[in-house]
Structure 1
Amino acid sequence: MNLKHFFSYYFNLKKLKKIKLFVFDIDGVMTDGKLIFDDNGIESKFFNTLDGMGIVMALKAGIKIAIITGSKANCIKQRFDKFKSHGFEDLIQGEEHKMPALLTLIEKYGLKDEEVAYMGDDVIDLAPIKYVGFSFAPKNAISEVKKNANIVLDKEGGNGAVRIAIDMVLKARGDYEKIIKEFYSF
């Protein structure tokens, strides 16, 4: 954790400890935001494996992970189907107005607003960023998102920003060391 993240983490420790649901956007957060189309018009995206392991670690710690994205790309479903065996169940695609989906998730899990974290990078993420108990923005987020997020990370989307945010939450909750120890055993 760099110095900037350490101070952000330290000053927000009480809020981060409360997180039980972490909601993410895809394009520009889980990916670098670039869209790739093959000659048949099939869309592809690059996902970071560090972020994927962070998702697995969060799920192991009992943190619910949800995706709300405006994209309907099949590659997103393929990516997140891999996490179902770890307890992932909330992939919501084709939602440009994210608040109704977010409120449904909060109700589904019986959570308070302060128990929810959100990470987004663009204008369609502003309402959730302002609503939840804690919000993150990757380095490549638009300025309006950065102004409203609790923490702006020094990593860009698709380059480990998700993992840094998840690690902060896991450390604040006291789950990080316990989860890491599970990977030490043979």
Structure 2
Amino acid sequence: MEDKSYKEYLEHITTFILDIDGVLTNGNVIVMTNGDLVRTMNIKDGYALKTALNHGYHICVISGGSNEGVRFRLNGLGVKDVFLGVQDKISCLDDYMKTNKIKPENVLYMGDDIPDFEVMQKVGLPCCPQDAVPEIKAISKYVSHKKGGKGAVRDVIQQVMKVQGKWALDVNAKYD
């Protein structure tokens, strides 16, 4: 039997769970002389995150990294569920879904590398950026045409919201 098209899953998504490095960033870090690691994030991804939150979607970020600058940026967009330094992504996912009464079939998870492999198998719609590793692409129901940190998050959020009739042009939206 043939698997469903990823588009058939979009109408049931209520929750976006994202990795950071390689998904919300391009996976590169700039190493400062003091040892700080600097990342860049895409403004268009930020707009989509804020728009999804404004429409009542759950947004959760789970990362093995522990850069507090990332938390600051996401909190500034309204993302409050930011879990950094996570060694066991499955337990974090399970706790988050239980606490928020979310079913796995309502979750879109976007990851890009091996630490996301097992957790992606526990959700309804595993997705990845175009530049994810082959193992992650193989288990993803959707591979974005955008790279990590280059609009992949915007791509999936916008698709879900369009299918659900919630994506609309808002020329007054603020997203910096």
Q: Give distance in 1, aligned partners of 2:172 and 2:66.
A: 38
Q: CA deviation at 1:24?
A: 0.3
Runs of 4+ aligned structure 1 residues displaced above 4 Å come to none
The counterpart of 2:39, out of the listed 39, 42, 45, is 45
1:100-135 deviation line (CA, Å, top 9, x unaligned): 111111111111110111000001101121110111
Q: State the SS of the aligned residue for 1:140.
A: coil
1:146-177 deviation line (CA, Å, top 9, x unaligned): 00001011111011111001101111211112
The counterpart of 2:18, out of the listed 13, 24, 29, is 24
Q: Do structure 1's residue 95 and structure 2's residue 89 form an aligned pair?
A: no
Retained in 2: the 8 A contact 1:29–1:161? yes
Specify which structure has the higher proportion of helix.
Answer: 1
The counterpart of 2:99, out of the listed 87, 93, 108, is 108
Matched with 2:52 is 58
Aligned residues: 170
The counterpart of 2:77, out of the listed 83, 94, 99, is 83
Q: Give distance in 2, aligned partners of 1:13 and 1:60.
A: 23
Letter in 2 for 1:60: N
Letter in 1 for 2:8: K
Q: State the SS of the aligned residue for 2:121.
A: helix
Q: Give distance in 1, aligned partners of 2:53 and 2:171.
A: 14
Retained in 2: the 8 A contact 1:43–1:75? no
Q: CA deviation at 1:184?
A: 5.4
1:71-126 deviation line (CA, Å, top 9, x unaligned): 00121112112123xxx220000013211111111111111110111000001101
Matched with 2:140 is 149
1:129-140 equivalent positions in 2, closer than 5 A: 129-140=120-131
Q: Give distance in 2, aligned partners of 1:169 and 1:135.
A: 13
Retained in 2: the 8 A contact 1:97–1:124? no
**Cα RMSD for the two superposed structures:** 1.5
Letter in 2 for 1:79: R
Structure 1 runs not aligned, ≥5 long: 1-9
Letter in 2 for 1:90: D
TM-score, normalization by structure 1: 0.87
1:27-47 deviation line (CA, Å, top 9, x unaligned): 000001011121111111010
